[in-house]
Structure 1
């Protein structure tokens, strides 16, 4: 394992309630959407949020995905595990109804899902299909709006909403293609939700990680070249890992970020600062 890929902040194999950091988010309850396997950004967030003391609900895409996600949910002691395909009518409503029935409230949500049809993702933006663009927007952006709408009534005492973006929303990144405009829309959505929900004490953020070797990222053409370029150009000379992203999300969920909302937070070893 090279210095560019070895974990800087390893994830715990099991949640340790006796850890000295295990109280920062004690008493907070949150939903994390997007866990697919142990390399996924959503799992990095879930593991760190749980390590800091939060109680968690997780989702899995379908029955096939459940066999990978359930052991991870058990590993970190998640309280709830539910199916959620945002393209299937009624499933998101069912998730929030169960949270309402069992918890009665919600302190935070983490939205870490994105999708684009492969043919559209690998082609030029100008050539993308209407159906492909609509599906990418539906899954990657509009689902965050839906989650926010359903979470709002459960955040009567305020709360935090976090989604995941990428630098390709701000600058043209080779081979990111159609997902660039989609993530730009997601970041703009973050700002508008922050403005609309601020009076209710709800803060909204987009986190923008650098490239990571996740299953979702494997769909990007020439992704290995993108990773090599990130390592070569970032001030830290390395990639970030999912635990570092998780710690950032834990900070945003906690009281330390109370003076911030609507922001896009870069966690990319400084790569976005380099021309």
Structure 2
């Protein structure tokens, strides 16, 4: 259950959240918290199949739902145009999509195909840069752009495979976007949640073991919740974080500090 209360308001903030898959997705956790705090949203999912599961959530969020497969020509441009038409301007963007072909994800990185590596990089990393460019003319002053990373970007995590190098590129991209967009007052961050049981994470080999290890080793002795992930996103969207940009912020019960 997502506890969406909190001590500050996002009333008047307007933004786009991409990557809703179901009620267990990180994108939905963020959307639920931001909506409760007063933000106005547009949300997206990847295809018509996902739309079946996401449409009731979008209705609950009182948010237009747009299908957007980032690999399709002009899909992102259409998404941004529709979002601006509904919202007027964009105060925040939350990018929560990642994908790699299963055969490349489950194999050794050294054996990954060029096509699979490039596809994973396009969907999981470069789409964030494309979204930032398309949103840029419509961003309000001090807008926040947020994407999702994982510890495997910084450390070699067993069975995370191909996504490790891709997420490392994403975190580097965040730093460059922060440098380039900071001249206009815009802020860019990566959030790095600990393992949570999402549909996307279930595609990783031995994910249950990864979650068990996080519980056993993290200083707080537990997994984080979607609410806790959403609360961090809300802080980064809010004016309370106005002096921060270019960071990767962990919300993982402290797991990243142990070896």
Q: TM-score range by the shorter chain?
A: over 0.9
Deviations 1:193-233 (A, max 9, x none): 00000011100000000011110001111111111111100
The answer as to whether partners of 1:112 and 1:164 remain within 8 angstroms in 2 is yes
Matches within 5 A, 1:9-20: 10-11=1-2
**Alignment counterpart, residue 176 of structure 1, candidates 146, 154, 160:** 160
Which residues in structure 2 correspond to 1:69-148 (within 5 Å)?
Answer: 69-78=54-63, 80-148=64-132
Match for 2:12 among 22, 27, 31? 27
The alpha carbon displacement at 1:74 in A equals: 1.0
Q: How many residues align?
A: 259
Aligned counterpart, 1:62 = 47
TM-superposed deviation, 1:185: 0.2
CA RMSD of aligned residues (A): 1.3
CA displacement at 1:81 relative to structure 2: 1.2
* 1:100 counterpart SS class: helix
Tell me if structure 1 keeps the 8 A contact 2:192–2:252: yes
From 257, 264, 268, the counterpart of 2:241: 257
For 1:226 and 1:132, how far apart are their aligned partners in 2? 24
Distance in 2 (alpha carbons) for counterparts of 1:102 and 1:77: 12
In 1, Cα distance between equivalents of 2:76 and 2:65 = 13
In the TM superposition, what is the alpha-carbon distance from 1:102 to its structure 2 partner? 2.9
Q: What does the per-residue CA deviation read over 1:216-275, in whole Å, with 9 as the maximum and x for residues that have no partner?
A: 001111111111111100001100011100000000000111111000000000000001
Deviation at 1:64, TM superposition (A): 1.2
| 2:257 equivalent in structure 1 | 273
Unaligned runs of 5+ in 1: 1-9
8 Å contact from structure 1 (residues 156, 200) kept in 2: no
Which residue does the alignment assign to 1:196?
Answer: 180
Structure-2 separation of matches of 1:69 and 1:161: 22
Gaps of 5+ in 2: none
Cα distance in 2, alignment partners of residues 103 and 274 from structure 1? 42
